[in-house]
Amino acid sequence: MNTHVILKTEGLCKYWGGLRALDDISLTFHDRQLHGVVGPNGAGKSTLLNLLCGHYKPTSGKIIHEGEPIDAIKPWAFARRGIGRSFQKTNIYPSATCLENCCIAAQRRMGGSFNFLRSRHHQTVLEELATNALEKVGLAKRRDQVAAHISYGEQRQLEIAMVLATSPCVLLLDEPMAGMGHEESLLIIDLLKRLKQEYCIVLVEHDMDAIFELSDQLTVMVDGQHLTTGSVEQVREDPRVREAYLGQGDEVY
Amino acid sequence: MLFQKRTERIFIWVFFPLALMMPLFLEQNTFYVSKLTTIMIFAIFVMSLDYLVGRCGLITLGHAMFYGLGGYIFVMIAPEYDAVNFWIYTFYICAISALIALVIGFLVLRTSGIYMIMITLAFAQMTFYFFSDSIEFGGNDGVFIYVKPDTSLFGISMFDLDNPIHFYYLCLLSLFNTLFFFRLVTRSRFGRVIDAIHENPGRTTALGYNVFVFRLMAYVMASALGAYAGYLFTMQYGFVNPSMLSWQTSGSALVMSILGGLGTLYGAILGTVVYEGLHYVLEHMTEHWLLFMGALIILMVILFKNGIAGYLEKLLEKRS
Amino acid sequence: MTTSLFFVQLINGLQYGLLLFLIASGLTLVFGVMGILNLAHGSMYMIGAYLAWYFVENTGSFTLSAIISAAIALGIGIVVEKTLIQRLYKRNHLDQVLLTIGMIFVFNALQSILWGDDPLGVQVPDALSGAVPLTEVVEYPVYRIFVAFLCVAIAVLMYYMINRTRLGMLIRAGESNREMVECLGIDISRLYTVVFAIGVMLAAVAGVAAAPMSSIVPGMGEHVLIACFVVVVIGGMGSIKGAFVGALLVGLVDTFASVLVPQLSSMMIYILMAFILLLKPQGLFSS
Amino acid sequence: MENNRKLSHLLLAGALTGTLSAQAVAASDEPIKVGIMLPFSGIYAALGDAGRNGLKMALQEKAAELHGRKIEFIEMDTEARPERAPEIASSLLDQHNADFIIGPVHSGVAMGMIKVLRNKDTVMIIPNAGAAAATGPLCAPNIFRTSFSSWQPSYPMGKVALDNGYKRVVTMSWNYGMGRESLDAFEESFTAGGGEIVKKILVPFPKTEFQSYLSEIGSINPDAVFVFFAGGGAVKFVKDYDALGLKGKIPLLGSGFLTEGTLEAQGPSAEGIRTTLHYADALDNEVNARFRQNYQQMFAKPADIYAVQGYDAGLLIASAVNRLGGDIEDQDALIKAMEEAKLFSPRGEITFSKAHNPIQNIYLREVIDGENKVIDVPVAALEDPARGCKL
């Protein structure tokens, strides 16, 4: 098992006024592992992802990427360091083709964005990168279709492809299976299984079966607090987890 | 292909050859030549605004600031009674206004939406009053430029700016170049990022683009071209007045841009020609032309959702 | 500046600010509830002033004229909303800008056709024609004090209406969530018509109130419009409280700037606005 | 080619305009084309309207003296927008081949027009704009003015103020050319006679919030106040002056435009204001009486200074056409005829200076019972110094 730590948080807090959305979270994320994060609604999972990708600034605490603290850098600089994310609500460019969606992403990696004159279509390497990303998620056949016209599940796949096209090292995925049918979910699970061979993945998901199946490490959060982290078995056995879910009156999925 | 839309290609093939031949028909009538020249110049300005508003999603009600600055920068830096070189001063004016746009854009682009409309207006009003209250720059009455620049490049003079026909061709060329330039830019990789930002700025940031810097670049570019249009306008009659900077100028440019079809670029030409043409016809027909102009604008907003260009595109689509 | 002059200027600034508030309140109300940016708001102010003149000439009574003018403005508001504005709710701000610029043209033309282009004036009603001495030379007319109080009264009334009445509840709900209001079984389009008409009426009432202390001329609406925008943006678009604070701020800054820094006075309110927006990009009291 | 040209005219007629000008016809049958470039919309619309009425009335009255030439008017709305002025001027010049171009009201527009029309093959007659430059540094053989230079109405007021024993005066106007020039002219004669300008207030144009300035004047408490304002601004100023209690305590003097065309709107606030101008409604002479009566009949409203100035532009054209026997082809002769013209204007006799600015009486008027009553003629036949003019 690869134990190289890519991303680490130390005492991460995010307060909205008096509300503690996230309180003192210290976690480590390893390369080529899928790190699942679960918890009832309002546990602070999405807040955690938003902090990790730089969308929010932490109230206190540190985010360390490859040994360097990065919590003070700009949101866009997170992605430049290879921290890519997908959103809970599908977040793509609906009027562009799937290929173009990925090209936008790949171009950030490739550079040349301040080239005012050269045609955007004149770079085959770029299109190759984008096509590869589409192939990885199994969307090659939708390459030239407009993103708004493909199915919802495919749009979620496309979003992951876009993140892949930026050649990231960390993938932050916020409920990639939300709103999907069973068949589509299986496709994504399959995809994530392949991806975790290459990337460090942080996965927030409500689908318990999926997350138990996929996670190498699993963190449970409740009310913005860290409850436990461990392997799937450890978490499953932990009585506090049951209590947390049952005590909340929330369904266990 | 640079001009991707069929409507746009047809437009270019109809408009520019017609515009090229126009002076042949009009050699007797310098008025029409200069009227058309003014329209071309304003179309450049409208196009630069159209790029900002339609392509970048940056709505400004202060773009006339750069139109006016184009003229006033010339007044400020050129010697009063010596002919200067047109191309060198084109460079100066674009560079200086780009610099100003860089500073203003740095402040303005931190806001968005309706607030950006207002803060751009605020800066334009400030410059308006700066020149209108000044004494050395002619104040509210404006100021003359006595000598037209000469256009020699490497010793060859291509245009004689005192000749209205020459000047017409210079402006037509500038208009075509502006369209060509903006097409290049929209097709480029930079343009790809601008399109992405326009459609979904949040996503673009998450992909690692510094959205602010791209917007700033676009703002600087459009502002410099807006100033170039103002410079040409100043050249045409040798006259600068603060009203070039007024919010009414920004407003009417915005109207023309929306009328033509926002973000289509060539629509800016359509919008300007139609608006100015209507203005001209109505003004000759009735003293109360404002009434009809207003009513027509209202009708167009309600009927043509995507401007004239959008309407034409739809028409072509239906037929094919 | 002597202390007495300072106080006189303070009163000048407050009075100007209060009038600005009266005009701007309608603009910010319409924007806040309906999300409509009405550039023709200044024209309504102009129309109000012309109506006041017309009915004073024909009825001889300022009070009567004010009531008729306000009623007509309300009618104009309803008609304009039903025929034009209603078509624009689903469009963006730009189309609204275009439409309302068209309306400015039409109103300006109508003004010229109906009432001509000569500067007109309305005399201060007799009951309010006195003055209060402030210094040896300067005195303050009762009418202007009355208008200042009227503006405060309208501000209080609006505050009460928005916070205490059913209409106000709907307006507040409409600001935050259109669908919710519809779920409550309220006809949102009727609410919008009412709000727009009230906005128009407020502008027209401001025009009526201003008529006896200013000159009624073509284009008077456009100058006011820009000042109103500054007020509304400083306060935060859609916030009545913001408009009140913004108006007083603009009134005071403009008044004192014209005395203290005359070279910069015309730029001062724009500098103020740019400065505030840079510190608070959504204005002082944005919701 | 001829065909082509016709085609293009047709095309343009369709595309741009509804008018189609007839091609060359014998000169004498052709009407004299008079282009009118005045504001018919926007804040100066009333002034433009009056100027046009006066002009048309004069040419109608003098129709018999035109040697059979008809007059064709081409009217263009400047909207008082200076940036449009060059375009409209060149339209009248090149498209309509106007023989005379009458305009404008606004000095900024005048600058734009002069830029295009200076030394061109048409005669420009300014019926209002007082910018000193038009008959100063920018003067030209083909530019005439039938109104005034900014210097003329204000200069005599300095003397009047001194005669009344005012020593300390505050001056105030909008901060634009016409305003500043008026204040300077007043200051010139006033300080030459030993007066002191204690404060000069320049209000940004077109701001009409005067209260703060007036409060300040109240605290200075000068012997008198001299102002230049016109139109809507004049109405607002006079009302504010009264409302803040300055009226009756500090005498208000002004360039005559303060109370021209605005008296009705100003109401009782204007009573007692003294101004100097080259005209007064109640001027007691035969021409004026007839002029005012006819004007009232034709246009159903009283004439004003702007109508007079337009009227005189018409008189100037008529007298020149008459003297040349209807043939105005030779521009030099036309200009000479205009230079030597002597007009019997409602404002009294006027002739033209070398710089083509009228030499005219300046009247001291006082508002009494809502009318400008002439109480004195401080300077008769005043000629503008035309500084900078090389004619």
pLDDT digits (tens, 9 = 90+) for B21-40: 988 887 667 788 888 999 99
Of B118, B132, B302, the CB nearest to C229: B118
For residues D311-335, average pLDDT: 94
For residues C240-263, average pLDDT: 93
Predicted structure pTM score: 0.89
What is the reported pLDDT for C187?
79
B110/A contact by beta carbon, under 8 A: no
For residues C142-160, average pLDDT: 93
Q: pLDDT grade, residue C156 (50/70/90)?
A: very high
**Which residue on chain D is closest to C137 by alpha carbon?**
D218
What is the token pair recorded at C13? Answer: 């600034």
Give the mutation candidate from B126, B136, B274 for the C interface (greatest C CB count, under 10 A): B126
Of B112, B114, B129, the CB nearest to C266: B129
Interface of B with A in 163-202 (CB under 8 A): 184-185, 187-193, 195-196, 199-200, 202
Interface of B with D in 185-224 (CB under 8 A): none
Whether residue B131 contacts residue B242, with contact meaning beta carbons closer than 8 Å, is answered with yes
D137/C contact by beta carbon, under 8 A: no
pLDDT over 60 (residue D8): no
Alpha-carbon span C38 to C24, nearest angstrom: 11
Asked if CATH classification 3.40.50.2300 holds for the domain at D28-148+284-356, the reply, yes or no, is yes
Ramachandran region, residue A7 (left: φ > 0; alpha: ψ -120 to 50; beta: rest): beta
pLDDT over 80 (residue B249): yes
Q: Is there a contact between B208 and A166 if contact means CB atoms under 8 Å apart? A: yes
What is the reported pLDDT for D106?
87
pLDDT over 50 (residue A252): no
Whether residue C213 contacts residue C124, with contact meaning beta carbons closer than 8 Å, is answered with yes
Q: pLDDT grade, residue A253 (50/70/90)?
A: very low
What is the token pair recorded at A125? Answer: 């390497």
D201/C contact by beta carbon, under 8 A: yes
Alpha-carbon span A146 to B72, nearest angstrom: 47
Alpha-carbon span D181 to D150, nearest angstrom: 6
Q: pLDDT grade, residue D15 (50/70/90)?
A: very low
D151-277+364-382: CATH homologous superfamily?
Response regulator (3.40.50.2300)
% of chain D exceeding 70 in pLDDT: 93
Instruction: Render pLDDT for B145-194 as a digit per residue (tens, 0 to 9).
Output: 877 888 888 777 778 888 888 999 999 999 999 999 999 999 999 999 99
What is the reported pLDDT for D28?
60
Could you tell me which residue, B288 or C142, shows the higher pLDDT? C142
**Which residue on chain A is closest to B189 by alpha carbon?**
A120
The CATH architecture to which C11-279 belongs is Orthogonal Bundle (1.10)
Instruction: Render pLDDT for A171-189 as a digit per residue (tens, 0 to 9).
Output: 999 988 888 888 888 888 9
What is the reported pLDDT for D38?
93
Q: Is there a contact between D86 and B239 if contact means CB atoms under 8 Å apart? A: yes
Whether residue B145 contacts residue B78, with contact meaning beta carbons closer than 8 Å, is answered with yes
Average pLDDT, chain D: 89
Could you tell me which residue, C15 or D46, shows the higher pLDDT? C15
What is the token pair recorded at D103? Answer: 């305009």
What is the reported pLDDT for D19?
36
Alpha-carbon span C42 to C8, nearest angstrom: 28
pLDDT over 70 (residue B288): yes
For residues B253-257, average pLDDT: 93
Sign of the Cα torsion D132, D136, D139, D143 reads positive
Residue in the structure block whose two tokens are 């930079």: B190
For residues D343-351, average pLDDT: 94
Of C266, C274, C281, the CB nearest to B122: C274
Instruction: Render pLDDT for D261-308 as a digit per residue (tens, 0 to 9).
Output: 889 899 999 999 999 999 999 899 999 999 999 999 999 988 989 999
Output the 3-class SS for D209-276: CCHHHHHHHHHHCCCEEEEECCHHHHHHHHHHHHHCCCCCCCCEEEEHHHHCCCHHHHHHHHCCCEEE
Alpha-carbon span B126 to B128, nearest angstrom: 5
Instruction: Render pLDDT for B226-245 as a digit per residue (tens, 0 to 9).
Output: 999 999 999 998 889 999 99
Which of B78-82, C2-6, C271-275 shows the lowest per-residue confidence on average (mean pLDDT)?
Answer: B78-82
What is the reported pLDDT for A249?
47
C-alpha distance from residue D37 to each of D19, D34, D63, D77, D310 (Å):
18, 10, 22, 6, 12
% of chain B exceeding 90 in pLDDT: 62
What is the reported pLDDT for A2?
56
Could you tell me which residue, C272 or D23, shows the higher pLDDT? C272
Whether residue D126 contacts residue D89, with contact meaning beta carbons closer than 8 Å, is answered with no
Element (H, E) at D150: none
Instruction: Render pLDDT for A8-41 as a digit per residue (tens, 0 to 9).
Output: 999 999 998 778 888 899 999 998 999 999 888 8
For residues C123-128, average pLDDT: 90
The alpha carbon of residue D8 is apart from the nearest alpha carbon of chain B, in Å, by 5
Q: Is there a contact between C117 and D208 if contact means CB atoms under 8 Å apart? A: no
Q: pLDDT grade, residue D390 (50/70/90)?
A: confident
Alpha-carbon span B190 to A117, nearest angstrom: 8
Which residues belong to CATH 3.40.50.2300 in chain D? 28-148+284-356, 151-277+364-382
Collect all residues from A whose CB is shorter than 8 A from any CB in B: 53, 55, 74-80, 84-85, 87, 91-96, 100, 103-105, 107-108, 112-121, 123, 162, 166
B291/D contact by beta carbon, under 8 A: no
Q: Is there a contact between D115 and B237 if contact means CB atoms under 8 Å apart? A: yes
The alpha carbon of residue C118 is apart from the nearest alpha carbon of chain B, in Å, by 16
C108/B contact by beta carbon, under 8 A: yes
pLDDT over 50 (residue D10): no
Of B29, B140, B290, the CB nearest to D177: B140
B26/D contact by beta carbon, under 8 A: yes
Q: How many CA atoms lie within 13 A of B148 on its CB side?
A: 19
- Top-confidence range, A207-221, B177-191, B295-309, D4-18: B177-191
pLDDT over 90 (residue A121): no
The alpha carbon of residue D48 is apart from the nearest alpha carbon of chain C, in Å, by 10
Which of A83-92, B146-155, C50-59 shows the lowest per-residue confidence on average (mean pLDDT)?
Answer: B146-155
Q: Is there a contact between B289 and D77 if contact means CB atoms under 8 Å apart? A: yes
pLDDT over 60 (residue B267): yes
Q: pLDDT grade, residue D20 (50/70/90)?
A: very low
Alpha-carbon span C182 to B150, nearest angstrom: 66
Look up residue D168 and give its DSSP letter: E
Q: pLDDT grade, residue B316 (50/70/90)?
A: confident
Instruction: Render pLDDT for D171-190 as a digit per residue (tens, 0 to 9).
Output: 999 988 889 999 999 999 99
Domains with residue ranges and CATH for chain A: 1-82+168-253 (3.40.50.300), 92-167 (no CATH)
What is the token pair recorded at C151? Answer: 């503006």
Average pLDDT, chain C: 90
Instruction: Render pLDDT for C166-215 as a digit per residue (tens, 0 to 9).
Output: 888 887 777 777 677 777 777 788 888 999 999 999 999 999 999 999 89
Residues in B touching D180 (Cβ below 8 Å): 135, 139
Instruction: Render pLDDT for B83-125 as a digit per residue (tens, 0 to 9).
Output: 889 999 999 999 999 999 999 999 999 888 888 888 899 899 9
Q: What is the dihedral of CA C113, C114, C120, C123, to 10 degrees?
A: -170
What is the reported pLDDT for D4?
41
pLDDT over 90 (residue A147): yes
pLDDT over 80 (residue B1): no
For residues B58-77, average pLDDT: 94
Which of B135-144, B168-177, D326-335 shows the lowest per-residue confidence on average (mean pLDDT)?
Answer: B135-144
Instruction: Render pLDDT for D93-117 as a digit per residue (tens, 0 to 9).
Output: 988 899 999 989 988 899 889 988 9
Whether residue D253 contacts residue D225, with contact meaning beta carbons closer than 8 Å, is answered with yes
Distance between the two ends of chain C, CA-based, in angstroms? 39
Q: Is there a contact between B125 and C226 if contact means CB atoms under 8 Å apart? A: yes
Average pLDDT, chain B: 91
Q: Is there a contact between B188 and A80 if contact means CB atoms under 8 Å apart? A: no
Of C141, C223, C258, the CB nearest to D243: C141
For residues D42-52, average pLDDT: 87
Q: pLDDT grade, residue B304 (50/70/90)?
A: confident
Alpha-carbon span C204 to C23, nearest angstrom: 8
Number of other residues whose CB lies within 10 A of the CB of residue A143: 16
What is the reported pLDDT for D1?
36
What is the reported pLDDT for A246?
58
For residues B126-155, average pLDDT: 85
pLDDT over 60 (residue D196): yes
Instruction: Render pLDDT for B181-204 as a digit per residue (tens, 0 to 9).
Output: 999 999 999 999 999 999 999 999
Chains near C with 3+ CB pairs less than 8 A apart are: B, D
Could you tell me which residue, B300 or D213, shows the higher pLDDT? D213
